[in-house]
Structure 1
Amino acid sequence: MPTLPRKQPEPSPAEPHKARQMAESFGADAQRYDQARPSYPDALVTRIVAGSPGPDVLDIGCGTGIAARQFQAAGCAVLGVEPDSRMADFARARGLQVEVAAFEAWQPAGRTFDAVIAAQSWHWVDPVVGAVKAAHVLRPGGRLALFGHVYEPPTEVAEPFAAAYRRAVPDSPLNAQPARRPLDLYQAAYAKFADKIRETEQFNDPEQWRFNWEQSYTRDQWLDLLPTTGGLTQLRPDQLAEVLEAVGGAIDSLGGVFTMNYTTLATTAVLAGTS
């Protein structure tokens, strides 16, 4: 996550939704993002669909439509809301209906939905405004589902990445973080999502779901994914090259392939006063 320009106040790590420059940086290479980023566990999609009163889904921060296409394949009608027009254009080209706006400013125009989802995107939404607005656009019995992946590469890959990143971007606030962040930190973030949902007093008590899975990556596959992550989307070409060279060498030392242990976390709640 490169530092924002000095002329702008740097958002607190507790308020990532204020880092708009980063939040809207992922469309720099939308095709790479779509090809390299993993999809979501089928069991998660199935559980959300089964626990919603109907097939109409609003996808907040839909990006290129990775999650949306999975919900379409499960029989849902999906509308995406995406602040980056480049990502929205890519998603539209893949058959998704998308409206360009930040969710906080998006106008529902009286439309309501059976499920509101946010895949790897809720941390870019104001947590208070977002939860209230989600309640406003849900139908009776409607479900809010916020989910995303936790993926920290093995130490043999994570430590060379962290060292190269410190050299390439010495003034980045990310350098204060450990090379591998424990799952507990991410679970705490999803617990905070649940707290903000409770504060609206419009939802039944939120549930926390967890799905564990793994995926193997070759050197080329991982180096294709890395530039789509928030810490790297705004690096200069020379900075990015330095980081990728170090990570590539680390994966080569492992035989050119490694296994990533993924955890997909979800916070979900049903609109209160409904079954």
Structure 2
Amino acid sequence: MPTQPREQPVPSPAKPHQARQIAESFGADAQRYDQARPGYPDALVTRIVAGSPGSDVLDVGCGTGIAARQFQAAGCSVLGVEPDARMADFARARGLDVETATFEAWQPSGRTFDAVIAAQSWHWVDPATGPVKAARVLRPGGRLAIFGHVYEPPAEVAEPFAAAYQQAVPDSPFSSQPARRPLDLYREMYAAFADKINETGQFGEPEQWRFDWEHAYTRDQWLDLLPTTGGLTRVHPDQLAQILDAVGTAIDALGGSFTMTYTTLAATAVRAIST
């Protein structure tokens, strides 16, 4: 996707959970992914932990363990489930217990948890089966929390990126995406996540949370993050260099840095005590 990293599911009628080549392309450079991707607001982690009956957490699509490490730091015991073996290996090397599988295929073997979280990953899970399986592995009163970032660089950066992407990779399905998309589209997506949770009949009324924050990026920091995004993980190195050169020039024109406004959205619900 031209301007959105993996964190932001594409708001379209497509079924991203079926796009396995993209879903499992982010491990191409797991170390870069881990060091470049942002973490999550401490207030979000604190709220999830405080609203769960215990400290056993299942992290669906844990990637390199960015969110999992924050929950570990908050005193939780975390098990990750990750389909990309490269990402799973990296997370294990950083101290996370990970089982390699898609969430749909993963075997809980009778294990249950106080919280099931999905950080930037729920759009890769089958929406028909994901909430049902989450309910099955949650203890009564346990919390399902789906969350992710919505962000766009300033128009002065996003528009040159989109133009360079379209020129370098004209046949990509991502090349037709607009340079920027409104927050409301992503709020609708998280509302849809909440609706699917509600349809199971196994949770209390879903809630939607929002956290706004900012992060400053230097030119090098942003160019380090971009290759980890869904629209760029599979392009040819020459195409990538062309795109990064255009974006770097745009950031240079802004003085070599810019401030990103982030919104972290969450759809969350508590498993009913009796179902």
TM-score of the two chains, using structure 1 as the length reference: 0.95
Q: How far apart are the structure 2 equivalents of 1:131 and 1:170? A: 37
1:101 equivalent in alignment to 2:105? no
- Which position in structure 2 is the counterpart of 1:5? none
- Which position in structure 1 is the counterpart of 2:150? 150
Three-state SS of the structure 2 residue aligned to 1:128 is coil
Q: After TM superposition, list the pairs within 5 Å mapping 1:1-275 onto structure 2.
A: 1=1, 13-273=13-273
Percent same amino acid among aligned pairs?
A: 82
Aligned-residue CA RMSD (Å): 1.1
Q: How far apart are the structure 1 equivalents of 2:261 and 2:14? A: 26
Q: How far apart are the structure 1 equivalents of 2:239 and 2:190? A: 32
Q: How far apart are the structure 2 equivalents of 1:129 and 1:246? A: 41
Q: Quote the offset at 1:128 in angstroms.
A: 1.3
Q: Quote the offset at 1:13 in angstroms.
A: 4.5
User: Letter of the aligned partner of 1:120 in structure 2?
Assistant: Q
Q: How far apart are the structure 1 equivalents of 2:205 and 2:227? A: 37
Q: Deviations over 1:134-161 (max 9, x none)?
A: 0000001000000000110000000000
Matched positions, count = 265
Q: How far apart are the structure 2 equivalents of 1:32 and 1:175? A: 24
Q: How far apart are the structure 1 equivalents of 2:205 and 2:140? A: 16
- Which position in structure 1 is the counterpart of 2:9? none
- Which position in structure 2 is the counterpart of 1:6? none
User: Letter of the aligned partner of 2:171 in structure 1?
Assistant: D
User: Letter of the aligned partner of 2:165 in structure 1?
Assistant: Y
Q: How far apart are the structure 2 equivalents of 1:175 and 1:103? A: 30
TM-score of the two chains, using structure 2 as the length reference: 0.95
Q: How far apart are the structure 2 equivalents of 1:63 and 1:251? A: 29
User: Letter of the aligned partner of 2:139 in structure 1?
Assistant: R
Q: How far apart are the structure 1 equivalents of 2:132 and 2:204? A: 13
Q: How far apart are the structure 1 equivalents of 2:24 and 2:173? A: 19
Q: How far apart are the structure 2 equivalents of 1:197 and 1:213? A: 27
Q: Quote the offset at 1:96 in angstroms.
A: 0.2
2:166·2:176 contact (CA, 8 Å) conserved in 1? no
Q: How far apart are the structure 2 equivalents of 1:128 and 1:72? A: 29
Structure 2 unmatched runs, 5+ = 3-11
Structure 1 unmatched runs, 5+ = 3-11
